[in-house]
Amino acid sequence: MKIIVNGEPRELPTGATVADAVALVTAAPSGVAAALNDEVVGRSRWTATALADADRLEVLTAVQGG
């Protein structure tokens, strides 16, 4: 299935979770948050949250700014 991760289309196997998709872009153990279709998914729920085709996942962290 195709998932949009941070604006980029990614191919993931059926049954893949938020944790799988996050792992494509970062291995950071903290300081990262994810939103699935504009809803925040807490880190504790990443492995239990299954993705569906065409889902949009945003994975953010803190950068210099402000």
Interface contacts to other proteins, rule CB under 8 A: 6-7, 25-26, 28, 31-35, 38, 40, 42-43, 58-66
CB of 20 to other proteins, least distance (A): 15
CB of 16 to other proteins, least distance (A): 18
DSSP, collapsed to helix, strand or coil, labels residue 52 as coil
Report the chain's C-alpha Rg in angstroms: 11
Residue with Cβ nearer other proteins (1 or 4): 4
